Structure 1
Protein backbone atom coordinates (compact mmCIF):
# COMPACT_ATOMS: atom_id res chain seq x y z
CA UNK A 1 0.00 0.00 0.00
CA UNK A 2 1.30 3.44 -0.89
CA UNK A 3 2.25 5.74 1.97
CA UNK A 4 1.56 9.48 2.15
CA UNK A 5 5.19 10.15 1.30
CA UNK A 6 4.77 8.05 -1.87
CA UNK A 7 1.81 10.18 -2.99
CA UNK A 8 3.78 13.34 -2.25
CA UNK A 9 6.70 12.08 -4.33
CA UNK A 10 4.34 11.14 -7.17
CA UNK A 11 2.74 14.60 -7.05
CA UNK A 12 6.10 16.38 -7.16
CA UNK A 13 7.30 14.19 -10.03
CA UNK A 14 4.17 14.70 -12.16
CA UNK A 15 4.93 16.10 -15.62
CA UNK A 16 1.78 18.23 -15.31
CA UNK A 17 1.72 21.60 -13.53
CA UNK A 18 -0.48 21.66 -10.42
CA UNK A 19 -0.95 24.32 -7.75
CA UNK A 20 -2.90 23.26 -4.64
CA UNK A 21 -4.76 25.80 -2.50
CA UNK A 22 -6.92 25.74 0.60
CA UNK A 23 -10.50 27.07 0.24
CA UNK A 24 -9.25 30.50 1.39
CA UNK A 25 -6.80 30.38 -1.58
CA UNK A 26 -3.70 29.92 0.56
CA UNK A 27 -1.11 27.87 -1.32
CA UNK A 28 -0.45 24.49 0.28
CA UNK A 29 1.53 22.70 -2.43
CA UNK A 30 2.82 22.70 -6.00
CA UNK A 31 4.14 20.08 -8.38
CA UNK A 32 7.65 20.27 -9.75
CA UNK A 33 6.35 21.04 -13.25
CA UNK A 34 4.38 24.01 -11.89
CA UNK A 35 7.37 25.38 -9.96
CA UNK A 36 9.56 25.13 -13.05
CA UNK A 37 6.95 26.84 -15.22
CA UNK A 38 6.81 29.91 -12.94
CA UNK A 39 10.48 29.75 -11.87
CA UNK A 40 9.70 29.58 -8.16
CA UNK A 41 10.34 27.24 -5.22
CA UNK A 42 7.94 25.79 -2.67
CA UNK A 43 9.57 27.93 0.00
CA UNK A 44 8.72 31.03 -2.05
CA UNK A 45 4.99 30.41 -2.31
CA UNK A 46 3.64 27.79 0.15
CA UNK A 47 1.66 29.37 2.98
CA UNK A 48 0.95 32.55 1.03
CA UNK A 49 -2.33 33.84 -0.39
CA UNK A 50 -2.14 33.01 -4.08
CA UNK A 51 -2.54 36.61 -5.29
CA UNK A 52 0.14 37.79 -2.87
CA UNK A 53 2.51 35.15 -4.23
CA UNK A 54 1.54 36.10 -7.79
CA UNK A 55 0.57 39.80 -7.70
CA UNK A 56 -0.31 41.97 -10.65
CA UNK A 57 2.37 43.93 -12.48
CA UNK A 58 2.12 47.44 -10.97
CA UNK A 59 3.43 48.95 -14.20
CA UNK A 60 0.97 47.04 -16.39
CA UNK A 61 -2.06 45.77 -14.40
CA UNK A 62 -3.86 44.64 -17.57
CA UNK A 63 -1.16 41.97 -18.07
CA UNK A 64 -2.36 40.13 -14.94
CA UNK A 65 -6.03 39.16 -15.03
CA UNK A 66 -6.48 38.47 -11.32
CA UNK A 67 -10.23 39.10 -11.60
CA UNK A 68 -10.79 36.23 -14.04
CA UNK A 69 -8.60 33.75 -12.16
CA UNK A 70 -10.22 34.58 -8.80
CA UNK A 71 -13.70 34.28 -10.33
CA UNK A 72 -12.87 30.85 -11.78
CA UNK A 73 -11.50 29.61 -8.44
CA UNK A 74 -14.57 30.84 -6.57
CA UNK A 75 -16.94 29.26 -9.13
CA UNK A 76 -15.19 25.91 -8.73
CA UNK A 77 -15.45 26.10 -4.94
CA UNK A 78 -19.08 27.24 -5.02
CA UNK A 79 -20.27 24.64 -7.55
CA UNK A 80 -18.10 21.78 -6.32
CA UNK A 81 -17.19 21.14 -9.96
CA UNK A 82 -14.20 21.90 -12.20
CA UNK A 83 -14.20 25.35 -13.80
CA UNK A 84 -12.27 26.01 -17.01
CA UNK A 85 -10.78 29.25 -18.25
CA UNK A 86 -9.62 28.42 -21.77
CA UNK A 87 -7.45 31.51 -22.07
CA UNK A 88 -6.24 34.03 -19.51
CA UNK A 89 -3.49 36.65 -19.62
CA UNK A 90 -1.40 36.48 -16.46
CA UNK A 91 2.16 37.81 -16.18
CA UNK A 92 4.30 36.15 -13.50
CA UNK A 93 6.99 37.82 -11.35
CA UNK A 94 10.49 36.53 -12.05
CA UNK A 95 13.56 37.28 -9.94
CA UNK A 96 16.47 38.65 -11.96
CA UNK A 97 19.81 40.21 -10.99
CA UNK A 98 18.18 43.58 -11.71
CA UNK A 99 15.21 42.81 -9.43
CA UNK A 100 11.68 41.50 -9.96
CA UNK A 101 10.47 41.59 -13.55
CA UNK A 102 7.12 40.42 -14.87
CA UNK A 103 7.16 37.83 -17.63
CA UNK A 104 4.19 38.12 -20.00
CA UNK A 105 2.34 34.79 -20.07
CA UNK A 106 -0.90 33.30 -21.39
CA UNK A 107 -2.51 30.30 -19.73
CA UNK A 108 -5.28 27.76 -20.16
CA UNK A 109 -6.48 26.71 -16.71
CA UNK A 110 -8.79 24.26 -14.98
CA UNK A 111 -9.65 24.71 -11.30
CA UNK A 112 -10.83 21.49 -9.67
CA UNK A 113 -12.23 21.37 -6.12
CA UNK A 114 -11.35 18.41 -3.90
CA UNK A 115 -14.34 17.51 -1.74
CA UNK A 116 -14.37 16.06 1.75
CA UNK A 117 -16.65 13.26 2.92
CA UNK A 118 -19.42 15.78 3.66
CA UNK A 119 -19.23 17.18 0.12
CA UNK A 120 -17.62 20.49 1.02
CA UNK A 121 -14.35 21.58 -0.62
CA UNK A 122 -11.19 20.92 1.39
CA UNK A 123 -8.85 22.25 -1.30
CA UNK A 124 -8.81 23.41 -4.91
CA UNK A 125 -6.27 22.37 -7.53
CA UNK A 126 -5.20 24.59 -10.39
CA UNK A 127 -3.90 22.97 -13.59
CA UNK A 128 -2.47 25.82 -15.66
CA UNK A 129 -1.00 25.07 -19.09
CA UNK A 130 1.32 27.77 -20.44
CA UNK A 131 0.00 28.59 -23.93
CA UNK A 132 2.15 31.68 -24.47
CA UNK A 133 3.83 30.06 -27.47
CA UNK A 134 0.44 29.68 -29.18
CA UNK A 135 -0.47 33.37 -29.01
CA UNK A 136 0.75 36.68 -30.31
CA UNK A 137 -0.45 39.73 -28.40
CA UNK A 138 -0.94 43.06 -30.14
CA UNK A 139 -0.26 45.86 -27.67
CA UNK A 140 -2.10 48.48 -29.72
CA UNK A 141 -5.36 46.57 -30.07
CA UNK A 142 -4.93 44.63 -26.79
CA UNK A 143 -5.98 41.48 -28.65
CA UNK A 144 -4.27 38.07 -28.42
CA UNK A 145 -4.38 36.00 -31.62
CA UNK A 146 -4.10 32.22 -31.66
CA UNK A 147 -1.20 30.98 -33.79
CA UNK A 148 -0.79 27.24 -34.16
CA UNK A 149 3.00 27.27 -34.18
CA UNK A 150 5.22 24.76 -32.37
CA UNK A 151 6.69 25.88 -29.04
CA UNK A 152 10.25 27.15 -28.93
CA UNK A 153 12.92 24.92 -27.45
CA UNK A 154 13.18 26.98 -24.25
CA UNK A 155 9.56 26.15 -23.42
CA UNK A 156 9.56 22.54 -24.59
CA UNK A 157 9.95 21.03 -21.11
CA UNK A 158 6.83 22.77 -19.79
CA UNK A 159 4.80 22.44 -22.97
CA UNK A 160 4.90 18.82 -24.09
CA UNK A 161 2.70 17.28 -26.75
CA UNK A 162 0.06 16.04 -24.32
CA UNK A 163 -0.27 19.43 -22.67
CA UNK A 164 -0.47 21.15 -26.06
CA UNK A 165 -3.31 18.84 -27.07
CA UNK A 166 -5.13 19.47 -23.79
CA UNK A 167 -4.71 23.24 -24.00
CA UNK A 168 -5.85 23.37 -27.62
CA UNK A 169 -8.90 21.27 -26.74
CA UNK A 170 -9.82 23.75 -24.00
CA UNK A 171 -9.29 26.73 -26.29
CA UNK A 172 -11.18 25.27 -29.27
CA UNK A 173 -14.06 24.07 -27.09
CA UNK A 174 -14.32 27.55 -25.64
CA UNK A 175 -14.31 29.10 -29.13
CA UNK A 176 -16.94 26.59 -30.27
CA UNK A 177 -19.22 27.42 -27.35
CA UNK A 178 -18.75 31.14 -28.00
CA UNK A 179 -19.72 30.73 -31.66
CA UNK A 180 -22.68 28.54 -30.71
CA UNK A 181 -23.86 31.23 -28.29
CA UNK A 182 -23.59 33.91 -30.99
CA UNK A 183 -25.46 31.64 -33.42
CA UNK A 184 -28.25 31.02 -30.92
CA UNK A 185 -28.60 34.73 -30.10
CA UNK A 186 -28.71 35.88 -33.75
CA UNK A 187 -31.89 37.98 -34.21
CA UNK A 188 -32.71 36.39 -37.57
CA UNK A 189 -33.91 32.80 -37.81
CA UNK A 190 -31.08 30.48 -38.83
CA UNK A 191 -30.86 26.72 -39.35
CA UNK A 192 -28.06 24.51 -40.65
CA UNK A 193 -29.17 21.58 -42.84
CA UNK A 194 -26.88 18.69 -43.78
CA UNK A 195 -26.94 16.25 -46.69
CA UNK A 196 -29.27 15.71 -49.64
CA UNK A 197 -32.20 15.03 -47.30
CA UNK A 198 -31.63 18.41 -45.60
CA UNK A 199 -31.38 17.15 -42.03
CA UNK A 200 -31.40 19.78 -39.27
CA UNK A 201 -27.92 20.04 -37.72
CA UNK A 202 -28.28 23.30 -35.77
CA UNK A 203 -31.21 25.62 -35.11
CA UNK A 204 -31.18 28.98 -33.33
CA UNK A 205 -33.81 30.34 -30.95
CA UNK A 206 -35.38 32.69 -33.51
CA UNK A 207 -35.97 29.73 -35.86
CA UNK A 208 -37.65 27.76 -33.06
CA UNK A 209 -39.93 30.73 -32.46
CA UNK A 210 -40.84 30.86 -36.15
CA UNK A 211 -41.90 27.20 -36.39
CA UNK A 212 -42.90 26.52 -32.80
CA UNK A 213 -40.68 24.81 -30.27
CA UNK A 214 -40.86 21.34 -31.75
CA UNK A 215 -38.15 18.67 -32.15
CA UNK A 216 -36.02 19.54 -35.17
CA UNK A 217 -32.36 18.53 -34.82
CA UNK A 218 -31.63 15.16 -36.40
CA UNK A 219 -34.78 15.19 -38.55
CA UNK A 220 -35.14 15.90 -42.26
CA UNK A 221 -36.78 19.27 -42.83
CA UNK A 222 -39.96 17.85 -44.38
CA UNK A 223 -40.32 15.30 -41.59
CA UNK A 224 -39.91 17.97 -38.92
CA UNK A 225 -42.09 20.53 -40.77
CA UNK A 226 -44.65 18.45 -42.70
CA UNK A 227 -47.00 21.41 -43.20
CA UNK A 228 -44.25 23.23 -45.15
CA UNK A 229 -43.85 20.40 -47.66
CA UNK A 230 -45.38 21.14 -51.04
CA UNK A 231 -45.07 24.91 -50.73
CA UNK A 232 -42.19 25.10 -53.24
CA UNK A 233 -39.23 25.20 -50.87
CA UNK A 234 -38.05 21.66 -51.77
CA UNK A 235 -37.10 22.68 -55.29
CA UNK A 236 -34.98 25.60 -54.14
CA UNK A 237 -33.24 23.64 -51.36
CA UNK A 238 -32.39 20.81 -53.74
CA UNK A 239 -31.08 23.28 -56.33
CA UNK A 240 -28.82 25.02 -53.83
CA UNK A 241 -27.48 21.69 -52.56
CA UNK A 242 -26.85 20.43 -56.10
CA UNK A 243 -25.40 23.57 -57.72
CA UNK A 244 -23.69 25.20 -54.73
CA UNK A 245 -25.29 28.51 -55.70
CA UNK A 246 -27.17 30.58 -53.07
CA UNK A 247 -30.85 31.46 -53.41
CA UNK A 248 -32.47 34.60 -52.01
CA UNK A 249 -36.09 35.71 -51.88
CA UNK A 250 -38.05 38.51 -50.20
CA UNK A 251 -41.50 38.45 -48.59
CA UNK A 252 -42.15 34.85 -49.58
CA UNK A 253 -45.36 33.40 -48.11
CA UNK A 254 -45.06 30.36 -45.87
CA UNK A 255 -47.81 28.46 -44.07
CA UNK A 256 -46.51 27.15 -40.77
CA UNK A 257 -47.91 25.67 -37.58
CA UNK A 258 -46.40 27.72 -34.75
CA UNK A 259 -48.09 25.83 -31.90
CA UNK A 260 -48.63 22.11 -31.34
CA UNK A 261 -52.11 21.19 -32.61
CA UNK A 262 -52.61 24.87 -33.38
CA UNK A 263 -53.81 26.48 -36.61
CA UNK A 264 -51.59 26.77 -39.67
CA UNK A 265 -50.77 30.45 -40.10
CA UNK A 266 -49.45 32.31 -43.09
CA UNK A 267 -46.33 34.41 -42.68
CA UNK A 268 -44.11 36.32 -45.08
CA UNK A 269 -40.39 35.83 -44.75
CA UNK A 270 -37.13 36.99 -46.28
CA UNK A 271 -35.16 33.82 -46.94
CA UNK A 272 -31.59 32.94 -47.92
CA UNK A 273 -30.36 29.45 -48.73
CA UNK A 274 -26.57 29.69 -48.51
CA UNK A 275 -24.50 26.60 -49.39
CA UNK A 276 -21.78 25.49 -47.00
CA UNK A 277 -18.79 23.92 -48.73
CA UNK A 278 -16.71 21.32 -46.90
CA UNK A 279 -13.24 22.31 -48.10
Structure 2
Protein backbone atom coordinates (compact mmCIF):
# COMPACT_ATOMS: atom_id res chain seq x y z
CA UNK A 1 0.00 0.00 0.00
CA UNK A 2 1.44 3.36 -1.01
CA UNK A 3 2.24 6.09 1.47
CA UNK A 4 -0.17 8.45 -0.30
CA UNK A 5 -3.03 5.98 0.07
CA UNK A 6 -2.30 5.57 3.76
CA UNK A 7 -2.33 9.34 4.18
CA UNK A 8 -5.63 9.65 2.32
CA UNK A 9 -7.23 7.01 4.53
CA UNK A 10 -5.90 8.70 7.65
CA UNK A 11 -7.30 12.02 6.45
CA UNK A 12 -10.69 10.41 5.77
CA UNK A 13 -10.75 8.85 9.23
CA UNK A 14 -9.88 12.20 10.78
CA UNK A 15 -12.57 13.93 8.72
CA UNK A 16 -15.19 11.42 9.90
CA UNK A 17 -14.14 11.97 13.51
CA UNK A 18 -14.38 15.74 13.12
CA UNK A 19 -17.79 15.41 11.46
CA UNK A 20 -19.04 13.33 14.39
CA UNK A 21 -17.67 15.89 16.82
CA UNK A 22 -19.35 18.70 14.88
CA UNK A 23 -22.69 16.88 15.08
CA UNK A 24 -22.39 16.53 18.84
CA UNK A 25 -21.44 20.19 19.29
CA UNK A 26 -24.32 21.19 17.01
CA UNK A 27 -26.69 19.13 19.13
CA UNK A 28 -25.39 20.85 22.26
CA UNK A 29 -25.91 24.28 20.74
CA UNK A 30 -29.43 23.38 19.64
CA UNK A 31 -30.22 22.08 23.12
CA UNK A 32 -28.96 25.31 24.70
CA UNK A 33 -31.08 27.43 22.36
CA UNK A 34 -34.16 25.31 23.15
CA UNK A 35 -33.61 25.72 26.88
CA UNK A 36 -33.24 29.50 26.58
CA UNK A 37 -36.34 29.81 24.38
CA UNK A 38 -38.28 27.61 26.80
CA UNK A 39 -37.42 29.83 29.75
CA UNK A 40 -38.19 33.03 27.84
CA UNK A 41 -41.51 31.68 26.58
CA UNK A 42 -42.60 30.55 30.01
CA UNK A 43 -41.56 33.85 31.59
CA UNK A 44 -43.70 35.71 29.07
CA UNK A 45 -46.71 33.47 29.54
CA UNK A 46 -46.33 33.39 33.32
CA UNK A 47 -46.87 37.15 33.41
CA UNK A 48 -49.82 37.18 31.04
CA UNK A 49 -53.21 38.47 32.00
CA UNK A 50 -54.62 34.96 32.37
CA UNK A 51 -52.13 34.07 35.06
CA UNK A 52 -52.83 37.31 36.87
CA UNK A 53 -56.21 35.86 37.88
CA UNK A 54 -54.67 33.56 40.45
CA UNK A 55 -57.38 32.39 42.84
CA UNK A 56 -56.80 32.82 46.53
CA UNK A 57 -58.35 31.37 49.62
CA UNK A 58 -59.42 33.90 52.21
CA UNK A 59 -60.94 33.39 55.63
CA UNK A 60 -64.53 34.42 55.92
CA UNK A 61 -65.06 34.92 59.62
CA UNK A 62 -67.70 37.63 59.48
CA UNK A 63 -69.92 35.88 62.02
CA UNK A 64 -67.04 35.91 64.50
CA UNK A 65 -65.92 39.43 63.70
CA UNK A 66 -66.60 41.84 66.55
CA UNK A 67 -68.49 44.97 65.69
CA UNK A 68 -66.10 47.79 64.93
CA UNK A 69 -63.23 45.55 63.81
CA UNK A 70 -61.52 45.32 60.45
CA UNK A 71 -59.99 42.13 59.10
CA UNK A 72 -56.81 41.67 57.10
CA UNK A 73 -54.89 38.62 55.95
CA UNK A 74 -51.27 38.44 57.07
CA UNK A 75 -48.48 35.90 56.76
CA UNK A 76 -46.68 35.10 59.98
CA UNK A 77 -42.96 34.78 59.32
CA UNK A 78 -41.37 31.52 60.36
CA UNK A 79 -44.61 29.56 59.96
CA UNK A 80 -46.41 27.89 57.10
CA UNK A 81 -49.74 29.59 57.70
CA UNK A 82 -51.71 32.67 56.88
CA UNK A 83 -53.65 34.25 59.71
CA UNK A 84 -56.73 36.46 59.88
CA UNK A 85 -55.85 39.58 61.84
CA UNK A 86 -58.62 41.68 63.31
CA UNK A 87 -57.96 45.20 64.57
CA UNK A 88 -60.26 47.68 66.26
CA UNK A 89 -61.49 50.21 63.71
CA UNK A 90 -63.94 52.18 65.88
CA UNK A 91 -62.61 55.03 67.97
CA UNK A 92 -63.58 53.94 71.47
CA UNK A 93 -60.48 55.30 73.11
CA UNK A 94 -59.06 51.85 73.71
CA UNK A 95 -55.84 50.30 72.48
CA UNK A 96 -56.30 48.50 69.12
CA UNK A 97 -56.83 44.83 69.87
CA UNK A 98 -55.79 41.91 67.72
CA UNK A 99 -57.19 38.42 67.42
CA UNK A 100 -55.73 35.77 65.15
CA UNK A 101 -57.01 32.50 63.80
CA UNK A 102 -55.42 30.02 61.45
CA UNK A 103 -56.83 30.26 57.95
CA UNK A 104 -54.94 28.05 55.55
CA UNK A 105 -51.48 26.77 54.82
CA UNK A 106 -49.40 28.57 52.22
CA UNK A 107 -49.68 25.51 50.02
CA UNK A 108 -53.47 25.82 50.06
CA UNK A 109 -53.28 29.52 49.29
CA UNK A 110 -50.77 29.16 46.46
CA UNK A 111 -53.07 27.27 44.15
CA UNK A 112 -52.45 26.29 40.55
CA UNK A 113 -55.48 27.73 38.79
CA UNK A 114 -57.26 26.43 35.72
CA UNK A 115 -56.11 29.53 33.83
CA UNK A 116 -52.46 28.88 34.70
CA UNK A 117 -52.74 25.21 33.79
CA UNK A 118 -54.32 26.06 30.44
CA UNK A 119 -51.63 28.66 29.69
CA UNK A 120 -48.90 26.08 30.26
CA UNK A 121 -50.69 23.19 28.56
CA UNK A 122 -51.34 25.21 25.41
CA UNK A 123 -47.87 26.73 25.15
CA UNK A 124 -45.53 25.64 22.39
CA UNK A 125 -42.54 24.97 24.66
CA UNK A 126 -44.53 22.49 26.78
CA UNK A 127 -45.09 20.30 23.74
CA UNK A 128 -41.51 20.41 22.47
CA UNK A 129 -40.57 17.18 20.75
CA UNK A 130 -38.35 14.86 22.79
CA UNK A 131 -38.86 16.93 25.95
CA UNK A 132 -41.04 14.86 28.31
CA UNK A 133 -42.86 17.26 30.67
CA UNK A 134 -45.42 16.71 33.39
CA UNK A 135 -47.07 19.44 35.49
CA UNK A 136 -47.80 18.74 39.17
CA UNK A 137 -49.83 20.81 41.60
CA UNK A 138 -49.22 21.07 45.34
CA UNK A 139 -51.13 17.84 45.98
CA UNK A 140 -48.82 15.99 43.57
CA UNK A 141 -51.75 15.63 41.19
CA UNK A 142 -50.96 15.61 37.47
CA UNK A 143 -52.54 18.68 35.88
CA UNK A 144 -50.94 18.52 32.42
CA UNK A 145 -48.70 16.15 30.48
CA UNK A 146 -47.22 16.34 27.01
CA UNK A 147 -47.13 13.64 24.34
CA UNK A 148 -43.40 13.03 24.78
CA UNK A 149 -43.99 12.07 28.42
CA UNK A 150 -46.90 9.80 27.52
CA UNK A 151 -44.80 8.06 24.89
CA UNK A 152 -41.72 7.52 27.04
CA UNK A 153 -43.78 6.10 29.92
CA UNK A 154 -46.40 4.36 27.72
CA UNK A 155 -49.10 5.84 29.97
CA UNK A 156 -51.66 7.77 27.86
CA UNK A 157 -54.18 8.77 30.56
CA UNK A 158 -52.40 10.60 33.35
CA UNK A 159 -54.16 13.94 33.84
CA UNK A 160 -56.05 13.99 37.13
CA UNK A 161 -54.07 11.13 38.66
CA UNK A 162 -51.80 11.53 41.64
CA UNK A 163 -48.29 10.86 40.41
CA UNK A 164 -47.55 8.13 42.95
CA UNK A 165 -50.82 6.36 42.13
CA UNK A 166 -49.91 6.42 38.45
CA UNK A 167 -46.28 5.50 39.10
CA UNK A 168 -45.91 3.37 42.24
CA UNK A 169 -42.75 1.51 43.15
CA UNK A 170 -42.23 -1.82 41.43
CA UNK A 171 -43.38 -4.37 44.05
CA UNK A 172 -41.03 -6.94 42.55
CA UNK A 173 -38.01 -4.76 43.36
CA UNK A 174 -37.23 -4.85 47.07
CA UNK A 175 -34.71 -2.01 46.67
CA UNK A 176 -37.05 0.35 44.80
CA UNK A 177 -36.63 3.92 46.03
CA UNK A 178 -38.19 5.90 43.18
CA UNK A 179 -41.26 7.03 45.13
CA UNK A 180 -39.23 8.04 48.19
CA UNK A 181 -36.60 9.97 46.22
CA UNK A 182 -39.08 11.72 43.92
CA UNK A 183 -41.31 12.62 46.88
CA UNK A 184 -38.34 14.13 48.72
CA UNK A 185 -37.30 16.08 45.62
CA UNK A 186 -40.79 17.49 45.03
CA UNK A 187 -41.17 18.52 48.68
CA UNK A 188 -37.76 20.18 48.49
CA UNK A 189 -38.71 22.14 45.37
CA UNK A 190 -42.03 23.28 46.85
CA UNK A 191 -40.38 24.41 50.08
CA UNK A 192 -37.31 26.10 48.53
CA UNK A 193 -38.81 27.33 45.27
CA UNK A 194 -35.83 26.22 43.19
CA UNK A 195 -34.87 23.36 40.87
CA UNK A 196 -33.62 19.95 41.91
CA UNK A 197 -31.62 17.60 39.70
CA UNK A 198 -32.10 14.03 40.89
CA UNK A 199 -29.08 12.68 39.04
CA UNK A 200 -29.73 9.09 37.92
CA UNK A 201 -32.83 7.35 39.21
CA UNK A 202 -34.08 3.86 38.49
CA UNK A 203 -37.87 4.07 38.46
CA UNK A 204 -39.69 1.19 36.79
CA UNK A 205 -43.04 2.04 35.18
CA UNK A 206 -46.19 -0.07 34.84
CA UNK A 207 -46.39 -2.20 31.71
CA UNK A 208 -49.67 -1.28 29.98
CA UNK A 209 -49.72 -4.61 28.13
CA UNK A 210 -49.35 -6.87 31.16
CA UNK A 211 -51.38 -6.24 34.29
CA UNK A 212 -49.25 -5.99 37.42
CA UNK A 213 -45.98 -6.06 35.46
CA UNK A 214 -43.38 -3.29 35.32
CA UNK A 215 -40.78 -2.22 32.75
CA UNK A 216 -37.18 -1.56 33.77
CA UNK A 217 -36.44 2.16 33.38
CA UNK A 218 -33.64 4.52 34.37
CA UNK A 219 -34.13 8.28 34.21
CA UNK A 220 -32.33 11.60 34.53
CA UNK A 221 -35.07 13.69 36.21
CA UNK A 222 -35.15 17.38 37.10
CA UNK A 223 -37.92 19.15 39.00
CA UNK A 224 -38.38 22.90 38.55
CA UNK A 225 -40.49 25.25 40.65
CA UNK A 226 -43.17 27.29 38.90
CA UNK A 227 -43.63 30.44 40.94
CA UNK A 228 -46.26 33.14 40.85
CA UNK A 229 -46.60 36.15 43.10
CA UNK A 230 -43.76 34.94 45.31
CA UNK A 231 -45.13 31.44 45.89
CA UNK A 232 -44.45 28.05 44.31
CA UNK A 233 -47.73 26.97 42.74
CA UNK A 234 -46.56 23.92 40.77
CA UNK A 235 -43.59 21.81 39.75
CA UNK A 236 -42.51 21.07 36.19
CA UNK A 237 -41.29 17.46 36.20
CA UNK A 238 -38.91 16.81 33.29
CA UNK A 239 -37.31 13.43 32.59
CA UNK A 240 -34.99 11.90 30.03
CA UNK A 241 -35.00 8.15 29.49
CA UNK A 242 -31.39 6.96 29.82
CA UNK A 243 -32.20 3.24 30.06
CA UNK A 244 -30.31 2.55 26.82
CA UNK A 245 -27.22 4.27 28.20
CA UNK A 246 -27.10 1.62 30.94
CA UNK A 247 -28.00 -1.23 28.58
CA UNK A 248 -26.84 -4.68 29.60
CA UNK A 249 -24.07 -6.37 27.56
CA UNK A 250 -22.43 -9.77 27.71
CA UNK A 251 -19.44 -8.39 29.60
CA UNK A 252 -20.82 -5.40 31.52
CA UNK A 253 -23.87 -5.10 33.74
CA UNK A 254 -25.96 -1.98 34.25
CA UNK A 255 -24.36 -1.65 37.69
CA UNK A 256 -20.89 -1.61 36.10
CA UNK A 257 -21.89 1.11 33.62
CA UNK A 258 -23.54 3.13 36.38
CA UNK A 259 -20.42 2.88 38.53
CA UNK A 260 -18.29 4.14 35.63
CA UNK A 261 -20.75 6.96 34.96
CA UNK A 262 -20.72 8.07 38.58
CA UNK A 263 -16.93 8.01 38.64
CA UNK A 264 -16.83 10.13 35.48
CA UNK A 265 -19.35 12.55 37.03
CA UNK A 266 -17.22 12.87 40.16
CA UNK A 267 -14.20 13.67 38.01
CA UNK A 268 -16.13 16.18 35.89
CA UNK A 269 -17.65 17.71 39.01
CA UNK A 270 -14.22 18.93 40.11
CA UNK A 271 -14.41 21.39 37.23
CA UNK A 272 -17.73 22.72 38.59
CA UNK A 273 -17.43 22.76 42.40
CA UNK A 274 -20.39 25.13 42.71
CA UNK A 275 -22.80 22.61 41.13
CA UNK A 276 -24.17 19.64 43.04
CA UNK A 277 -22.93 16.14 42.35
CA UNK A 278 -26.43 15.07 41.35
CA UNK A 279 -26.68 17.91 38.85
CA UNK A 280 -23.40 16.95 37.18
CA UNK A 281 -24.42 13.28 37.14
CA UNK A 282 -27.80 14.08 35.56
CA UNK A 283 -26.29 16.28 32.85
CA UNK A 284 -23.58 13.72 32.07
CA UNK A 285 -26.11 10.87 31.86
CA UNK A 286 -28.36 12.86 29.52
CA UNK A 287 -25.34 13.80 27.41
CA UNK A 288 -24.52 10.09 27.11
CA UNK A 289 -28.06 9.61 25.78
CA UNK A 290 -27.70 12.42 23.22
CA UNK A 291 -24.38 11.04 21.95
CA UNK A 292 -25.80 7.51 21.76
CA UNK A 293 -28.77 8.71 19.70
CA UNK A 294 -26.61 10.97 17.49
CA UNK A 295 -23.69 8.65 16.75
CA UNK A 296 -25.47 5.32 17.11
CA UNK A 297 -22.93 4.07 19.65
CA UNK A 298 -21.64 5.21 23.06
CA UNK A 299 -18.69 7.58 23.13
CA UNK A 300 -17.58 8.69 26.60
CA UNK A 301 -15.26 11.39 25.24
CA UNK A 302 -17.92 13.13 23.18
CA UNK A 303 -20.46 12.76 26.00
CA UNK A 304 -18.10 14.41 28.46
CA UNK A 305 -17.43 17.24 26.01
CA UNK A 306 -21.16 17.81 25.55
CA UNK A 307 -21.78 17.64 29.30
CA UNK A 308 -19.03 20.19 29.91
CA UNK A 309 -20.63 22.62 27.44
CA UNK A 310 -24.04 22.24 29.08
CA UNK A 311 -22.62 22.61 32.59
CA UNK A 312 -20.74 25.74 31.55
CA UNK A 313 -24.02 27.19 30.28
CA UNK A 314 -25.73 26.29 33.56
CA UNK A 315 -22.90 27.58 35.76
CA UNK A 316 -22.49 30.72 33.66
CA UNK A 317 -18.73 30.30 33.42
CA UNK A 318 -16.01 28.16 31.87
CA UNK A 319 -15.07 24.90 33.51
CA UNK A 320 -12.31 25.20 36.08
CA UNK A 321 -8.98 24.95 34.30
CA UNK A 322 -10.39 26.04 30.92
CA UNK A 323 -8.75 29.07 29.36
CA UNK A 324 -9.74 31.33 26.49
CA UNK A 325 -6.91 31.66 23.98
CA UNK A 326 -6.91 35.03 22.31
* TM-score normalised over the length of structure 2: 0.41
**Which structure has more RCO (C-alpha within 8 Å, separation ≥ 6)?**
2
* TM-score normalised over the length of structure 1: 0.48
Structure with more of its chain in helix, by fraction: 2
